[in-house]
Structure 1
Amino acid sequence: MWKPDRSLNKPLYQQIADHLEQRISLGELPSGSLLPAERKLSEQLGVNRSTVVQAYEELRASGLIESMKGSGTRVSPRKWGKTSRRTPNWNRYVEGGILQPSLPFMRRIREGLQSGETVINLAYGELAAELCPNDTITSLIRNEPFDQPLGYGDPQGYVPLRTALTSFLHEHRSIQATNQSILITSGSQQSLYLITQGLLSPGDAIAIENPSYCYSLPMFQSAGIRLFGMAVDEHGVIPDDILNLYTQHRIRMVFLNPNYHNPTGTVLSPERRIAILRICEQLGIPIVEDDPFSLTALDEEVPPPLKMLDQNGTVLYIGSLSKIAASGLRIGWMVAPHSVIQRLADARQQMDFGLSIFPQWIAAHFLASPELSPHLIQLRDQLRFRRDVMAQALQRQLADEVSFELPKGGLNLWCRINRPVNDYALLENGLKHGVAFVPGSVYGSESGFVRFTYARPSVHEIEPGIAQFAMALRKTME
């Protein structure tokens, strides 16, 4: 956030007025935009309220802003004085559009992490920099000559990467795939987006787990897709729920995250996998299997994917390198029947003409590298250690106030607060105490659940982060 520079000779109020004038003239603050209250802006900028009052008076005198009792201070609809031209009413455009904005909770978390204040990030489900194979990738870049053309590539994805993925999926996930059955995407989220845009229509109904990461993605509502939840217990979703939802709502797809489910960490039992696959085969509806976490198994053998059991082409399989290598590579994939891959590759080409060749080239070499398996072993060891540090911190700080099951894989710990709590107040108090996390209601659960990630913060931040959360929780309970 911008703040006035006290080392300048220009008065603070004038710096504030000039900064706001610039934002107004550039259209960042369109006509009618509500400005912060004087007291709030003074707190944000670290100045006296009288300084903000003086800056606002300067802008009012120029006709750039106007104040009305009960309505606050807004950018004037017609600006006179310093400029006589009108900017578009961007607020009307911002409120329109097909793609809905992120959930308020997620926007608030992002604002808190970008505020410039020190906030321990227990919210973002991604790997910390020290868990990524930076040295291996740096070595690949130095030692392997990059001789690929830098024009538009194949919209289905870089062929050597798809070839490397066929071997990777066979070795690590027991999935049989070919170059023609793989689509490269910029991550699992783009795979889901392509499915909503290319295979579903407004009004279609789908079944998802409840809670589910899907509830945090506005892309489904933006596409007019109706979401129906299936409760998740310690063994995953109940197969009969699919039958019931099909009978009631004629669901067209089932979206599942069967291994180390996000956010609860549960693993779908073998018996339920077979039953779900059989039901969907009988009904003729596809399963979208999102499998980002399987190779982060911590205390057991890597669970097999549903796709391994699929003999009928029922499962669309989605994976990525984000949770096992680096989210910044932006490499994901989908395994599906060739007709589906062709349809979604065409949709993908309409969006961006295909992913950049450079990260695909890196990913192809990394997947074929002898360093891949040692990296996965080291990653699991580090994640197990971080998970245990977080669990021990929760026991020390909040033993009687929260409950949780130790996840056997994944990047997250799903925690239940044992007393009723207001999620909004808890998040605000958390950010005030310097810690970010995701309230469970973001994922469709009732209030009183929290998802913490142990992969994103440094090891040394986990204990302080939980301690700060404990203070925020007790403040909320007062």
Structure 2
Amino acid sequence: MWKPDRRSKKPLYQQIADDMERRILYGEYPPGSFLPSERKLAEQIEVNRSTVIQAYEELRAKGIVESSSGSGTRVSKRLLGVTPSLTPNWRAYARGGTFAPNLPMIRRIREVLRERGSIIDFASGELSPDLYPNQAIQQLLREAPFEAPLGYDDPQGFLPLRETLVSFLDKQLNIRTTESSILITSGSQQSLYLITQCLLAPGDAVAIEDPSYSYSLPMFQSAGLRLFRIPVHENGIDPEEIESLFRQHRIRMIFLNPNYQNPTGSILAASKRPRLLKLAAELGIPIVEDDPFSLTSFDNRPPANLKSIDAHGSVLYVGSLSKIAASGLRVGWLIAPQTVVKRLADARQQMDFGLSVVPQWLANEFLRSGLFDRHIRFLRDALSRKQLHLMTALNRMLADKFSCIPAQGGLNSWLKLNQPVDDSKLLEESLKRGVVFMPGTVFGSEPGYVRFSFARPADHELESGIQKFAQALHALND
């Protein structure tokens, strides 16, 4: 985000006007489009609102923008001789298309995270920079010669990485597969996107957990799917509800996150898993197992996953390095029958001609070295410590105002507030104080639930972040 130079001799308002004029002339704000409100722009670039008002007045004086009461300030439609009849209605185009936008609350949170780097971030479901394996990656870059060709790679993914994953998944998670049954993706979300776009059709009914990360993903809406929710209890979903949903709605696919479920942190009970798999096989319904967190198990004993006990070939398994190593590598994988892998690989090739070979090569070197094992031990200890720190702060500052079952792995804590609360107002009060979190309604829950990602804030921010959240909660009741 550009900000004016306070050391410059040029007045701040003039710098703002010049920058906005440049953006307009470069097409960032086409004729007829609205500029940010004076208040919003002032917050973004950290100046007084009166300074922005003066800058907009300068642009109005040049005939570049025009304002109307109650409508805001927009770029003149006659700028540089462009007539209204020749100006595309970009707002209408932006509202169009079949790809649905993120939920408004998620867009609000991400906007704040982009603009305010100092905010304490309990919202982002990723690791803090100090938990990334930076030293290991630097060591690999120094010591391992890069020998992969830099042309387009196999659309199914870098073969050495797929071969490494065969042994890695067997050793770490007891999953047995072959390199031809693995598709490398740019993270779990791309795997889910390819599944919804290629294996399902508009109008199909699918089952998701309630609450669920899947509920927050617009890709299901974009694909025209009908979502039916299965409540998540302390020990996961009830498999019998799958049969009921099938009888009522003919669901065609089930999306589950059985281990350290996002957002609740729950684990699907071992006693429920055989029944779930038997039901799916009897009804002919595939299960998409999204498993980003198993290897974060705080006791170093990851729960068994569905794929490892799937004797019927019903499970499509989705994993990635995003939650256990580095989200920036953008390396994930999907295990599926070869027919499905070939279909999805063909679709992905149409999108981007395949993932870049560089991060795949780096992921391969990391996974087959002893560096990964050292990293995952360090990560488990760090996440366990962070959650304990978070829960200690919550118990001290909010006492009887919440209930929570501490997770045994993953990155998130799921809280139920013991008082009625407006999620939107609580979020805004928290933002005022410099802390952000994910309201439970984002995941489809009723109001009064909160997801805190304890992995993202630095250790020293955990206590101050909860203090700010507690102040926001108290402010709503004053």
The TM tier, using the shorter chain, reads over 0.9
1:405-444 to 2 correspondences below 5 Å:
405-444=405-444
The answer for the alignment partner of 2:127 in structure 1 is 127
Contact 1:300 1:408 in 2 (8 A): no
Q: Distance in 2 between matches of 1:95 and 1:384?
A: 43
Which digits, 9 at most, give the CA deviation of each residue in 1:65-95, with x for residues without a partner?
Answer: 222233233222222xxx2236543222211
Alignment partner of 2:81 out of 81, 84, 105: 84
Distance 1:149 1:41, change over 3 A: closer
Which digits, 9 at most, give the CA deviation of each residue in 1:90-132, with x for residues without a partner?
Answer: 2222111221111111111111112145201111111122222
- Deviation of 1:45 (Å): 4.5
Which digits, 9 at most, give the CA deviation of each residue in 1:157-183, with x for residues without a partner?
Answer: 111111110001111111110011111
- Deviation of 1:351 (Å): 0.9
Q: Distance in 1 between matches of 2:359 and 2:370?
A: 19
Q: Distance in 2 between matches of 1:40 and 1:173?
A: 48
Distance 1:46 1:314, change over 3 A: closer
1:369-448 to 2 correspondences below 5 Å:
369-448=369-448
- Deviation of 1:465 (Å): 1.0
Q: Distance in 1 between matches of 2:385 and 2:99?
A: 39
The answer for the alignment partner of 1:470 in structure 2 is 470
Distance 1:62 1:355, change over 3 A: same
Contact 2:44 2:115 in 1 (8 A): no
- Deviation of 1:435 (Å): 0.9
1:256-335 to 2 correspondences below 5 Å:
256-299=256-299, 301-335=301-335
- Deviation of 1:17 (Å): 2.2
Is 1:23 aligned to residue 20 of structure 2? no
Q: Distance in 1 between matches of 2:269 and 2:325?
A: 27
Gaps of 5+ in 2: none
The answer for the alignment partner of 2:160 in structure 1 is 160
Q: Distance in 2 between matches of 1:357 and 1:48?
A: 47
Contact 1:102 1:217 in 2 (8 A): yes
- Deviation of 1:399 (Å): 1.0
Please say which of residues 65-74 and 254-263 is displaced more in the overlay.
65-74
Q: Distance in 1 between matches of 2:314 and 2:375?
A: 32
Please say which of residues 298-307 and 245-254 is displaced more in the overlay.
298-307
Q: Distance in 2 between matches of 1:122 and 1:52?
A: 31
Contact 1:153 1:355 in 2 (8 A): yes
Structure 1 vs Structure 2 CA RMSD: 1.7
Which digits, 9 at most, give the CA deviation of each residue in 1:430-457, with x for residues without a partner?
Answer: 1111111111111001111111111111
The answer for the alignment partner of 1:219 in structure 2 is 219
The answer for the alignment partner of 1:118 in structure 2 is 118
The answer for the alignment partner of 2:108 in structure 1 is 108
The answer for the alignment partner of 1:143 in structure 2 is 143
Contact 2:33 2:90 in 1 (8 A): no
Q: Distance in 1 between matches of 2:117 and 2:372?
A: 36
Q: Distance in 1 between matches of 2:331 and 2:475?
A: 41
The answer for the alignment partner of 2:228 in structure 1 is 228
Q: Distance in 1 between matches of 2:429 and 2:190?
A: 33
User: Normalising by the residue count of structure 1, what TM-score does the alignment of the two structures yield?
Assistant: 0.95
- Deviation of 1:50 (Å): 4.3
The answer for the alignment partner of 1:342 in structure 2 is 342
4+ runs deviating over 6 angstroms = none
- Deviation of 1:403 (Å): 1.4
The answer for the alignment partner of 1:207 in structure 2 is 207
Residue type matched to 1:69 in 2? S
Please say which of residues 114-123 and 308-317 is displaced more in the overlay.
114-123
Which digits, 9 at most, give the CA deviation of each residue in 1:330-368, with x for residues without a partner?
Answer: 111011111011111111111111111111111112111
Contact 2:213 2:443 in 1 (8 A): yes
User: Normalising by the residue count of structure 2, what TM-score does the alignment of the two structures yield?
Assistant: 0.95
Distance 1:117 1:152, change over 3 A: closer
- Deviation of 1:156 (Å): 0.5
The answer for the alignment partner of 2:3 in structure 1 is 3
Contact 1:421 1:477 in 2 (8 A): no
Q: Distance in 2 between matches of 1:370 and 1:38?
A: 54
Secondary structure of the residue aligned to 2:260 is coil
Q: Distance in 2 between matches of 1:257 and 1:221?
A: 19
Q: Distance in 1 between matches of 2:167 and 2:274?
A: 25
Contact 1:31 1:89 in 2 (8 A): no
1:39-78 to 2 correspondences below 5 Å:
41-42=41-42, 44-78=44-78
Q: Distance in 2 between matches of 1:418 and 1:438?
A: 17
- Deviation of 1:31 (Å): 3.2
- Deviation of 1:38 (Å): 4.1
Please say which of residues 60-69 and 330-339 is displaced more in the overlay.
60-69
Residue type matched to 1:358 in 2? V
Secondary structure of the residue aligned to 1:114 is helix
Q: Distance in 2 between matches of 1:389 and 1:233?
A: 25
The answer for the alignment partner of 1:356 in structure 2 is 356
Aligned length: 475
Distance 1:15 1:406, change over 3 A: same
- Deviation of 1:44 (Å): 4.8
Q: Distance in 1 between matches of 2:149 and 2:194?
A: 26
Percent identical: 59
Please say which of residues 207-216 and 116-125 is displaced more in the overlay.
116-125
Residue type matched to 1:471 in 2? Q
Is 1:172 aligned to residue 172 of structure 2? yes
